[in-house]
Amino acid sequence: MSPHGGVAALLLLADGRFPAGGHVHSGGAEAALLDGRLTGPDSLAAYAVGRLHTAGLVDAALTAAVVVRLGEDCDPRGCGPGRALRLLDAEAEARLAMAPLRESSRRLGRQLIRAAAGCWPGPVVEAAAAVDPDGPHQAVALGAVAHAAGIGPLDAARLSLHHTLTTPLQAALRLGGLDPYAVAALAASLAPVVHEVAAEAAEAAGGPIAELPCLVGPLTEIAAVEHAARTDRLFAT
């Protein structure tokens, strides 16, 4: 058991009440509702599965890779956590083709760092904060915070995917007036997908950084750009 927190820290970071800014994001669900791709529980399930296998896998693998590299970085050359974090931040940047998504990823990253700085203070969180003037990408921030909180790569990947899953579900619940019990049941039913994708992400995280998964849902990304230009939206993304 990690002295920093381990499972207890994992639960804290998975809790929607942790003040890291996630509640104003819909993971593309608002855009999908507005353009008619999301119409009810069935399409919501399909949307969530699609997200887990694309953006979810990319984020989870990056997050897990950060935890792996930070674990290795106690090296005798003493280059510290900064170099690994910058390299992985560049990989995250390269995987975010659309400007609004890059921007919101950094915004969420710095918001997570702000919330985590008081929880797990230390050089890793400080190095993550210093990766970019606008803050680290969200996946890099989550990996750094997970490492600082004593969470391993596989659990970090699960944590990332938990947010990939619950963000659009919660937003669709609010926007679409869905049955909250049905939405909770949907989330529970997708646990095997979360575990399967997390295992894939954790495995990739041990390999070369440049070969981390790189998958996009083109329609979701185009919709995100259109969504960012709307003035009547209730969610940031």
Partner 1 sequence: MPPHDPGHPHTHDHDHDPPPLPGRWQGLTQPGGPARRSLRVGIGGPVGSGKTELVSCLCRAFADELSLAVVTNDIFTREDAAILERKGVLPTERIMAVQTGCCPHTAIRDDISENLDTVEQLEARFDPDLVLVESGGDNLTATFSYALVDVQIFVIDVSGGDKVPRKGGPGITRSDLLVVNKIDLAELVAADLGVMARDAEAGRGGRPTAFVSLRADQRAEPVADWIRGLLADRAAALTASASHGA
CB of 150 to partner 1, least distance (A): 20
Tell me if 147 contacts partner 1 by CB under 8 A. Answer: no
Q: Nearest CA to 196 among 222, 158, 231, 230?
A: 158
**Nearest by Cα to 221 from 40, 56, 31:** 31
Q: Is 129 a residue that touches partner 1 (CB under 8 A)? A: yes
Around Cβ 188, how many Cβ atoms within 10 Å?
A: 8
Q: Which of 21, 136, 153, 213 forms a contact with partner 1 (CB under 8 A)?
A: 21
Structure tokens at 107: 């915004």
CB under 8 A: which stretch of 84-92, 124-132, 136-144, 147-155 binds partner 1? 124-132
* Nearest-approach distance from CB 26 to partner 1, in angstroms: 7
Range 22-61, binding partner 1 (CB under 8 A) = 22-26
Residue 21: CB minimum distance to partner 1, A: 3
* Residue 192: other Cβ atoms inside 10 A: 8
Contact at 8 Å (CB) between 38 and 32? yes
Cα 96 to Cα 131: distance, rounded to the nearest angstrom: 17
| Among 77-85, 118-126, 206-214, 218-226, the segment contacting partner 1 (CB under 8 A) | 118-126
Maximum pairwise Cα distance, the chain = 56
At closest approach, how far in Å is the CB of 117 from partner 1?
4
Tokens (6 digits) for 153? 């790569």
Binders of partner 1 among residues 75 to 114 (CB under 8 A) are: 107, 110-111, 113-114
Is residue 67 within the footprint of partner 1 (CB under 8 A)? no
d(CA 88, CA 73): 13
Say how far apart CA 228 and CA 148 lie, in whole Å. Answer: 33
Between CA 180 and CA 57 the distance in angstroms is 26
Binding to partner 1 by residue 19, rule CB under 8 A? yes
Write out the binding residues for partner 1, residues 157-216 only, by CB under 8 A: 171, 174-175
Are 128 and 140 spatial neighbours (Cβ–Cβ below 8 Å)? yes
CA torsion, ordered 156, 159, 161, 162, to nearest 10 deg: 170
Q: How far is the CB of 123 from partner 1 (least distance, A)?
A: 12
| Nearest to partner 1 of 21, 56 (CB atom) | 21
Judged by beta carbon, residue 175 or residue 225, the one nearer partner 1 is 175
Identify the residue among 36, 76, 118, 192 touching partner 1 (CB under 8 A).
118
Size of the site for partner 1 (CB under 8 A): 29
The residues of the shown chain that bind partner 1, judged by CB under 8 A, are 17, 19-26, 107, 110-111, 113-115, 117-118, 125-126, 129, 171, 174-175, 231-236
